[in-house]
């Protein structure tokens, strides 16, 4: 084995029909829960957007709700994955810029913001990967027909 291919037992586990949907749901779970929570507590979502200097806050809150819920459903249901993942990725870029501005902080606050910044960067990378994987699977399916 060259180290490029997973062991057979890993491939067998990953081939289970429940693994893909569960992993996609896990990937977007924070967005989906966040979008639902913002929708149910819209006044708090507006206050959050205002706190981070995003105006008009109500518009930003509504956009966040729409992108978090619709984008998550696109990824989970594998429909327009590129659009859902792209929207979630862009929302995450905005969040990184306004909420994780480690370059303006010091001490423990800087440490926490820096960690969060790179955690969010990892989420964006995972959203890109889920889009690449979905495209590869769709192309492979087209080629089989």
Give the pLDDT of residue 90: 98
What local confidence, expressed as pLDDT, does residue 3 receive? 76
Report how far apart, in Å, the C-alpha atoms of 92 and of each of 6, 25, 126 are: 31, 17, 12
User: Residue 36 has which token pair?
Assistant: 């639902």
The residue assigned the tokens 């792209």 is 86
For residues 102 and 113, the answer to whether their CB atoms sit within 8 Å is yes
Integer Cα distance of 104 and 29 in angstroms: 29
Mean pLDDT (10-residue bins), the chain, 145 residues: 84 95 97 98 98 96 98 97 98 95 95 96 97 90 86
Question: Is 107:145 a contact under the CB 8 Å cutoff?
Answer: no
Task: Report residue 134 CA to chain centroid gap.
Answer: 15
- The encoded tokens of residue 110 equal 């800087």
Give the predicted TM-score (pTM) of the model. Answer: 0.90
Closest alpha carbon to 67 in 105, 106, 93: 93
Tell me what pLDDT residue 138 has.
86
Spatial distance between the Cα atoms of 136 and 27, rounded to a whole number of angstroms: 19
Q: How far apart are CA 4 and CA 6, in angstroms?
A: 7
């Amino acid at each position: 084995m060259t180290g490029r291919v997973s062991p057979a037992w890993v491939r067998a586990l990953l081939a289970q029909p429940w693994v893909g949907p569960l992993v996609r749901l896990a990937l977007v779970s924070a967005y989906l829960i966040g979008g639902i929570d913002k929708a149910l507590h819209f006044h708090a979502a507006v206050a959050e957007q205002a706190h981070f200097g995003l105006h008009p806050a109500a518009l930003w809150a509504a956009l966040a709700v729409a992108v978090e819920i619709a984008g998550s459903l696109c990824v989970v249901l594998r429909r327009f994955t590129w659009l859902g993942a792209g929207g979630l990725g862009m929302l995450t870029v905005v969040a990184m810029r306004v909420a994780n501005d480690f370059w303006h902080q010091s001490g423990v606050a800087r440490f926490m913001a820096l960690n969060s910044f790179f955690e969010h960067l990892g989420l964006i990378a995972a959203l890109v990967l889920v889009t690449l994987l979905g495209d590869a699977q769709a192309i492979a399916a087209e080629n089989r027909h």
